[in-house]
Amino acid sequence: MSKDTHSTVLFDALGPKGAARVRSASITSGVVFLALIGWAVYKLSLKDFFEQSRWVNPLDIMIIENAWLPALISTLQAAVLGSVGALALGIIVGMGRVSRFMVIRGIASVYVQFFRAMPLLLLIWIPFTIDGALGTAGSIGLDQDGRRLFFLVLGLSVYNGAVLAEILRSGINALPPGQAMAGRAIGLRHGQTMRLIVLPQAVRNMLPAVLAQLVILLKDTALGFAITYPDLLHESKIIGNDYPNSFLQVLLIAAFVYFVLAWGLSKVVTVVERKTRRKLPKGTATVTASMPGQTEAETITPTPKP
């Protein structure tokens, strides 16, 4: 079947007239978009938005050393710790989702369904507020910055752990049933089959989706702004208050830093996904990574047989 007549799962391939209409709509949309950008640039230039001093002040070497770099380190610290916690919870709950025991499966399912339905901001804010009333974090020796980091990492781990658990379950279910059957045929117990045969293959299949979810986790560290965690967003607000005429410029600088971080990790996801697909045997399925911004972090894509 040629590319011109190939049909996708969601719709049939466009004919000549349909393709022409889509092309015209795309060109029109592009022209309108560029016109809006030009209009916005013109309006901003009238407000001296591009004046050099408004950009130089937030990028002063002292500001970079004392504000931007510590904020970047704090953001990466929360992302790394949150990723470790989310991966640990994801593996534990994900294995519970495919357990032989109904009680364990039920508990894991409730965990996944509940925490995936909760807004991440509330998972950070509610425990932080409760601790503010009880003073639990202070009793274990955490200072204010450590307290904020702890509850930010806690919220990130609990929420993303639920998402990663579903990715793990999808990766296991995507494997051909013959893999587990082969393990039982050579006398391995259920736990040994999962640990030695099923889980290593599932980890390889789901790795792109896991990395994609960790990119989302990195961006979600900005929610620490709600509890005044000194991340990029919080520090940019402080810098903007120090330089009121450069407030928008400061936010754009912070947005650019987030973009560079997320874009770099997304490229890693793309490379890993490409290499993973090359190594997969024919007839198996892969867990395809979703791009940052999607609500669901996993889809199952069967590899076509010859």
- Which residue did the predictor score with more confidence, 3 or 58? 58
CATH code of domain 62-302:
1.10.3720.10
Residue 286 has pLDDT above 50, yes or no: no
- Using alpha carbons only, give the angle 245, 248, 249 rounded to the nearest 5 degrees: 85
Q: How confident is the model at residue 300 (pLDDT cuts 50, 70, 90)?
A: very low
Q: How confident is the model at residue 4 (pLDDT cuts 50, 70, 90)?
A: very low
Q: How much is the pTM?
A: 0.76
